[in-house]
Amino acid sequence: MSNVRRFAAVNTKIKSMVGKLLTKEDYQAMVLLKTESEIFDYLNEHTYYANIFKDIEDEAYTIANVEFHIKNYIITLYKKINCFITGNYQKLFRLLMKRFETEDIKAYLRALILGQDISEMYLEFPNSSFYSKLDYRTLSSSSDLSDFVECLKDTIYYKVLKLYLNESPDRMLFYMEMNLDRVYFSKLSVEIAKFKGDEKPIFEILQMNIDFLNFQWIYRGKKFYHLLPEEVLNYTLPNGHFLNYETLKKLSYAEDEDELFDIMSTTHYKKLFQHNDRTELYLERDMDRYLYKHFLRSERESSLNMVTVVTFTHRLEFEMRDLFTMIEAKHYGVSSEELKEYLIRVI
């Protein structure tokens, strides 16, 4: 079957969904609002998000509840897209959705390490059966971190998590999250390698994301956890796009933060590292903006293929993260001008 026939239906579906995304004017209006309640009202009165808040009572409009509904709304859109994809393309799409599973596990780990009650945490993931075969209700019944890891005994996560159960609490989560990412992106890299031709550019962007994750892990591992260079290098993810093994080795053996940035200033990503503001917050934002821009460019240049699907899912997630940023910024009284600096989408 040709790509035109294979992707005609899903592209039509996605085109209708794109029309429901927030516009630049929506962003500009919400940035100027004063409180998170005004953000909720705007979403209800002027955007398609009103449809997902119908079952929320006025007194239940909390940040956590609104973010819960937004996340699960986005997953329902992915479920609709999944119905139009077949074969290896569906396998890849489901693997992209598997990212939610690893993020859910991280949420459980954080809660357990902080000593929080997780007995009803499964309620936070009502759509988990779409992207995961894990029993979230059983996971939520875990008595402690060791018990939680044992619940994952027959999964690909068990060995990499069990290895760090005796690690000091201040490093345990770092190691566990790093290895969860390593497991996920190793599987994703195998699938990405199968796609060629017109679809190759979109998967190059996913590989750029691996580059950025590697830099962030190296940066944090050295700055906050003082890991040995050999250990830092050992945890880097394979199959990035522009950062090869030799570059990752140089970064891992860098003496300090300045040398890290100087090395990155000689790579394909030099424009992100040559300006004066080298704070981690703005650097992560710039990386996200870089990926967002490339996704949009690939979408404009693509024909009927998987590019449209992958780009749309990432546009949705970037929008979700920007919404969360706006809501929380208003809650803490961040000024409109400062808030603009935190957003992925430039307005």
| pLDDT at position 308 over 60 | yes
Domain interval for residue 138: 86-190
What pLDDT, on a 0 to 100 scale, did the predictor assign at position 303?
67
For the chain, the average pLDDT equals 90
What pLDDT, on a 0 to 100 scale, did the predictor assign at position 97?
93
Looking at the chain, the whole-number percentage of residues with pLDDT higher than 90 is 63
DSSP string, 213-280: HHHHHHHHHHHTS---HHHHHHTSPS--SS--HHHHHHHHT-SSHHHHHHHHTTSTTHHHHSSS---H
| pLDDT at position 299 over 90 | no
What pLDDT, on a 0 to 100 scale, did the predictor assign at position 278?
64
Asked if residue 10 is part of any domain, the answer here is no
Asked if residue 151 is part of any domain, the answer here is yes
pLDDT tens for 16-33 read: 999 999 999 999 999 999
Q: How many domains does the chain have?
A: 1
Confidence of residue 52 (pLDDT cuts 50, 70, 90): confident
Question: Any idea what the CATH number is for the domain that residue 168 is in?
Answer: 1.20.1690
DSSP-derived secondary structure letter, 48:
G
| pLDDT at position 215 over 90 | yes
pLDDT tens for 111-134 read: 999 999 999 999 999 999 999 999
Asked if residue 176 is part of any domain, the answer here is yes
What pLDDT, on a 0 to 100 scale, did the predictor assign at position 155?
96
- pTM of the entire structure? 0.88
Asked if residue 134 is part of any domain, the answer here is yes
Is 324 buried (19+), middle (13-18) or exposed (0-12) by CB count in 10 A?
middle
Asked if residue 299 is part of any domain, the answer here is no
Asked if residue 278 is part of any domain, the answer here is no
pLDDT tens for 175-194 read: 999 899 999 988 888 888 77
Asked if residue 113 is part of any domain, the answer here is yes
Confidence of residue 3 (pLDDT cuts 50, 70, 90): low
Asked if residue 124 is part of any domain, the answer here is yes
Confidence of residue 67 (pLDDT cuts 50, 70, 90): confident
Residue 104's closest CA among 152, 51, 54?
A: 152
| pLDDT at position 4 over 80 | no
What pLDDT, on a 0 to 100 scale, did the predictor assign at position 28?
97
| Alpha carbon distance 299, 302 (integer Å) | 5
Say how many Å lie between the first and final Cα of the chain, rounded: 41
What pLDDT, on a 0 to 100 scale, did the predictor assign at position 323?
95
| pLDDT at position 6 over 80 | no
What pLDDT, on a 0 to 100 scale, did the predictor assign at position 340?
95
